[in-house]
Structure 1
C-alpha cells in the first residue's frame, strides 16, 4: 500500500499461488476460441482500432465463470485491503482475459473513459510461461519525471496502479502474451462491462 501511494504503481512478483495460476492458465486455454477483438471506448462508444490496440479479450462474469472462484476470492480480499488501509470506497470490479498475438500492442493511454470515471485501481496478472527478454510485450509505465519503466510480463507477476493517473502502453509482443486484466471500481459499478451486485 505504501509503495502504491508513493509511486502510483506497485509490482509484486509471485503474487499468484501455483494452484491459482494453474486454474487461470487452464481456463484461459479452454476459452481462447471465444475471445473477441478488443476495442477502445466504453460500451456504446466502443470502436475497433487495430492501429491503437491489437489484443483480443474475453470478459469474465463471476456467476458464469465459477471455475475461477479462487481468483474471485483473491480479488475480494484485495478490495477489502484497499478499503481498509486506503479508504478507497471500492464497491465492484470488472475483469477480462487478454490475449496479445504476435505483433499485438496497445498505444499509450489511461485506464479511464471520458464519460465514465469509476475505475480506481488497475490490476494485471501475467500468465506467460517461460517469458524471456526479447519476447516483447512489456508494460511501459510513463512516470511524472518523463522517464519510463518497462515491466516484463513474467508468469505470476501482478502489477497494480492508479487507473486515472498512470499513463501506460503495451509494447509489441514477439510471441503470444496472456494476462488477466481488470479494474477495481468505485460507484456506480453498473457503468462497468457487467452489472455487479
Structure 2
C-alpha cells in the first residue's frame, strides 16, 4: 500500500499460487473461442481501432464463471485490503481475460472513460508461461517526470496502479500474451461485469 501511494503503481511477483494459476490458465485456454475484438471508448463511443488496440477480451461473470471462485475470493480480499488501509470506498470490480496475439499492442492511454470515472485501481495479473526477454508485450508505465518503467509480463506477476492518473501502454507482443485484467471500482458500473 505504501509503494502504491508513493509511486502510483506497485508490482507484486507470485501474486497467484500454483493452484490458482493453473485454475485461471485452464479456464483461459478452454474459453479462447469466446474472445471478441476489444475496442476503445464506452457505450455510444465504443469503436474498434486496430491501430490503437490489438487485443481480444472475454468478460468474466462471477455467477456464470463459478469455477473461478478462488480467483474471485482473492480479488475480494484485495478490494478489502485497499478499503481497510487506503480508505478508497471501493464497492465492486469488473474483470476480463485479455489475449494479445502476435503483434498485438495497446497505445498509451488511461484506464478511464470520458463519461464514466469510477475505475480506481487497475489490476493486471499475467498468465504467460515461460515468458522471456524478446517475447514483447511489456507494460510501459509513464511517470510524472517524463521517464517510464517497463513491466515484464512474467507468469503470476500482478501490477496495480491508479486508473485515472497513470498513463500506460502495452508494447507489441512477439508471441501470444495472456492476462487477467480488471478494475476495482468506487461505484457500480453499467459496462463490463460489475460485482459488489
Q: Under a length normalisation based on structure 2, what TM-score does the superposition of the two structures give?
A: 0.98
Q: Is the 8 A contact 2:125 2:180 kept in 1?
A: yes
Q: Secondary structure at the match of 2:145?
A: coil
Q: Is the 8 A contact 2:95 2:193 kept in 1?
A: no
Q: Secondary structure at the match of 1:20?
A: helix
Q: Show the counterpart of 2:4.
A: 4
Paired residues in the alignment total 196
Residue-by-residue CA offset, 1:16-59 (whole Å, 9 max, x unaligned): 01000000000000000100000001133210000000000000
Q: Is the 8 A contact 1:43 1:193 kept in 2?
A: no
Structure 2 gap ranges (5+): none
Q: Show the counterpart of 1:48.
A: 48
Distance in 1 between residues matched to 2:89 and 2:31, nearest whole Å = 33
Distance in 2 between residues matched to 1:190 and 1:162, nearest whole Å = 17
Q: Secondary structure at the match of 1:140?
A: strand
Q: Show the counterpart of 2:78.
A: 78
Q: Show the counterpart of 2:103.
A: 103
Q: Show the counterpart of 2:190.
A: 191
Q: Under a length normalisation based on structure 1, what TM-score does the superposition of the two structures give?
A: 0.98
Q: Is the 8 A contact 2:123 2:182 kept in 1?
A: yes
Residue-by-residue CA offset, 1:124-182 (whole Å, 9 max, x unaligned): 00000000000000000000110010000000000000000000000000000000000
Q: Which runs of 4+ in 1 moved over 3 A?
A: none
Structure 1 gap ranges (5+): none
RMSD, matched Cα? 0.8
Shift of residue 8, structure 1, vs aligned partner = 0.1
